[in-house]
Structures are given as C-alpha cells and as structure tokens.
Structure 1
C-alpha cells in the first residue's frame, strides 16, 4: 500500500480514537481503514493501537509514530506548497492560539484582515490562558508571553509587556497610595490566577527580588473580572500592561509602584520547526508581526 496513504489513515485513527470516525473523516469504508492499519503494523512489525470494544488507544510506540507522522505529512504539504511557488495564494486550514485578552485585542483584528485577503484559508483560533502544545494540539502559530524554554520551535520576538499593579483613583483616594510593595499587606488585593496564581508576589530585579506574601480578598480566574473589580474600586490587582492599557489611558485605573516592577516580559510568535516555509503560516506571521511590532501597548 502507498505509505502516505497509510500514514494519513493512521493519523486519522489516532486523532479520532476510533476506526469508524476515521473512516467518516477520510470518506473510506471501516473495512478499508482496518486493512490499512493492519498493513501498517505488519510493515513496521510493531503494535501501534490497542483495540477494545469501546475505543482505540495508542500504544507508546503508536504515540511516538503519530507525532513523527504528523510532522512528516506537514512537511510534505509544505514542500508541495513551496514547489507550487512562494507566490502561490495560501490555502487550507490555519490554527492559531493566544492568551484570551491578547487574542481579543491584538490577534483577532489580524485574523479578520488575513481572511479578507486570503479567501482560500480557514482559521481556527484557540484563545486560552494556558500554554498550548503546538505539536499535540496541531497548532500552527502561537503567541507566547514570557521567557521561552529551549525547544525545537522557531520564535520571532514582536514586543514586550510589563507586569503591573493598578487600582482605581477612587480606591487610592480612600486608602492611600502604597510607597513600597510591603505596603500591599495593608490593602485590599485582587488576585487574577491567570497572571499571579500564587499569593506571594515578586518585585524588582530577578537576582535580588522583593517577595511579598499576600492574602487576597478576591481571587478570580478571569483577567476581565479582575479588571472590572479594580475599576469598581474594590482594591489593587496585578495584571499585564497590555490588559489594562486602555483603562489606564482613560483614567479608570492608575498604575502604582512602577519603580518596583520586574523586567519586561518578551512577546514572541512561535511556530513549528520546518524545512519548508508554508505560505499560509508565513504570510499570517508577516501580518501579525507587523501589527504587533507597531503597537504602542507592546513597546
């Protein structure tokens, strides 16, 4: 059997976790899918899948082969695009991930512009305040805020943000302006778990930080909710500068203790290592990088 066909069938079964679902996805009969997997396992001399009456699970060897096969098929697709010409119009599916508020404020305008310009592309946008694994979840481009670990991914720096403390002017008028991080222990604190999951906040230089242990009166999982509570005058919250930039510019919030801030956090666009440049990925990165590098809130 054709090796590429076998790989495509295996990826479909592994991702769908079932033969019937994979058959529907590939528009093949279940029998054809079963034969393809049996042929692939015989060819490799290893069990890739564990079949039960309810579902199909990958073996350890199967998981490794799935990861490698995804990368191989992606390289083939990208090589075909490169052979078709670097000026060929992008087409296919593009998947993008970013933190929730960052995606809403900065990425969505670029996605709309990109879709208007390239009608042959469909985009899936996953906006979550957690790190998404590009390989495991099939993501093409990700926005990462913070220092990057070593990996095989390619990264393009497009800006920076700061972790800032802010409060509403009416709160500060009632309770006073803190002059040192230790003063926060006498204030009402709002903790946004997406930014400051611990109740011990760090300030200053990385080599000699000031640590302040706090007891928040309000802890929320949504950065939007923390911003709303701070604007309402409840207390002091810690967020990323881009998340509150509009509120600060409008005077609804005020940044405090900025002289005690940590060093800025870099913002990168991250994508998977590839020998060939996919036109749909390359052109989207160009659009997004141009927008982010020129934005006043990311300087």
Structure 2
C-alpha cells in the first residue's frame, strides 16, 4: 500500500471516528483499514490513534499528522487537477457549505441547476449551523451570513438579512402588538437552541444599542420548529428575515418592532484566496452569486423596484 493511500485511510478514520465507517466511505473492508493504520503506525514508530472498545481519538502525534495529511493530499489533488486542466475546464469534486435552512431554501435549488450546466463537476453540500473551517474540512465554497474576519478569504456580497421578531396575526390580535422591545418581557417566547439569541435580544433605539433579557418558555432544537410554533399562534420568535419571508408574504406571520432592528447582516459567497483558483470554483461562485443576487427575499431593493 503506497503512502498516499495510507494517508487517505488515516484521514477517513480520523474524520469518520471509526474503522467501520471509514471502510464504508472508502468502499473497502474494515480489516484492510485496520491493517493500513497498523502498518502506518509501525513504519512511523508512534501511535496515531488511541483506541478502546467504545471510542477512538487522535493522539497528539496523530493530530499533527492529520493536519499534515490534509495539506499533502490537498496539494496532490491540486497538482492532479492542474495537470488535468481543471483550472480552465470546470471538473472534479466541489465541496460547498451553507447554514441548514438557508442551504435548503436557496442553495440546494442552485446546485441542481449548476450540475445540469457543468456535467463534469460533482458536488458535496455540507449544510450545518456552524462556521466550517474551509481549510481543515476541505471546503471550496461557503455561504456566510455575517461579517468575515479571515483575510485569507475572498467574498462576494449577494444580499443581506435582518434579525426580525414575528408572530401570527391571531396571537398579536389577542395579546397586542408591542411598540417597544421592553414589552417582550411579558410575551410568550419560543426560541431555537441553535440560535445565539436565546437569553437576550439586541435592538437599536435611535443610535443606541438596547438589550432586552429574554426568558423563552419553549426552546426547540431547530429554527423551523420555532417558526412553525409561531405560525400556529403559540407565541413570538426571533429569526433571520429570509427564514420567514414566505410566511410573512402569505400573511401567516407578522413582523413587529421593525424600527428597532439592528443593522442587516451581509450574505456572502466565500472562497479561499489563491493565485490559481480552479474553474469549478470560479464558475460555481459566479453561478451562485448571480442566482442569490436575483432573489427578492435576500435583496430588499428588488422589491422596491417591483422585481
């Protein structure tokens, strides 16, 4: 077994956190994975993985070796892609990440359209509500909601979203429409545990920040669940504007306290800065940015022009 293949096996075991899962990913048998790791550790002369009957984790040496493997394999892929002409022709594997709900609503439809146009590209979409380390996890393109802090990344702004408070019209008819954020202390609140807005909500009063402590009576694990409960009239919730755009347009939810909303957050399509960017990345970034830039739910100015 060559060393590059051993590195691929080690990478699969570390990322899948198990020999059987790594074997499934590599379409091979668990014993062959076990033999590869044992041969690697024997050749290197140190233990890379600490194993028990119930768990597996990287040793300190294994963690350093994992980072080196990722770098070496990425450079190998880049060299092969360059030799195959992928810097001029969109082809190969493309890894994309986006927040779960945003990805389902806005990114997933674009993926299919892009693949129809570029048949030599395959896409793996990682939809998760966390900030993915693009370098460590081998991601080519990311959709970020918020401001960037990594100078090694290049971004194209495609829209913006607001942090909105909403409830069903029936709930507001029964309990009243708040005119000031402080009145939310007496409201029935449902929040998502994945949100950073569980314990307090921040607003702007004039030019001054205004923070209101929130004590949700109900906390759920997903934004969709909180939104559905609000639609059913159970209480109020705070989410990003794109998440409830359709429900607001249909009259199922109503926005309140709009004059107290903080500044909108930018939506950006992000990729790594490099002297050579593969054609698959450039074409996908252009394709995605164009599609998202034309969506009125993400670009309020389009609504003003009647688009």
Sort the TM-score into its range (normalised by shorter chain): 0.7 to 0.9
Once the two structures are TM-superposed, the CA of residue 207 in structure 1 deviates from its matched residue by 7.7
Any idea what the Cα deviations from partners look like across 1:76-98, whole Å, max 9, x if unmatched?
32233234333324123x33222
Equivalent residue number for residue 238 of structure 1: 238
Give how far 1:125 is off. 2.2
- Residues 111-149 of structure 1 deviation map (CA, whole Å, 9 limit, x = unaligned): 111222233333222222233333444433222212233
Q: SS of 2:297's equivalent?
A: helix
Classify 1:186/1:152 alpha carbon distance in 2 versus 1 (closer, same or farther; 3 Å): same
Distance in 2 of aligned mates of 1:288 and 1:185: 40
Residues 1:174 and 1:71: Cα distance change in structure 2 (over 3 Å): same
Cα distance 1:103–1:17, how it changes in 2: closer, same or farther (>3 A)? closer
2:109 maps to 109
Question: Does residue 282 of structure 1 match 2:287?
Answer: no
The whole-number CA distance in structure 1 between the counterparts of 2:159 and 2:131 is 18
Normalised TM-score (structure 2): 0.80
Does 1:295 pair with 2:299?
Answer: no
Residue aligning to 2:62: 62
Cα displacement (A) at 1:205: 6.9
Q: 5 Å matches for 1:151-230? A: 152-204=152-204, 208-230=208-230
Normalising by structure 1, report the TM-score.
0.82
Call closer, same or farther: CA 1:26–1:186 in 2, change over 3 Å: closer
Structure 1 Cα separation of the partners of residues 236 and 52 of structure 2: 55
**CA distance in structure 2 between the partners assigned to 1:186 and 1:26 by the alignment:** 56
RMSD: 3.2
C-alpha separation in 1, matches of 2:208 and 2:115: 47
Answer whether contact 1:13 1:19 (CA < 8 A) is retained: yes
* CA separation of 1:34 and 1:276: change in aligned 2, threshold 3 A: farther
Q: Is the 8 A contact 1:95 1:138 kept in 2?
A: yes
Which residues of structure 2 form unaligned runs of 5+?
Answer: 300-307
Residue in 2 that maps onto 1:90 = 91
**Runs of 5+ unmatched residues, structure 1:** none
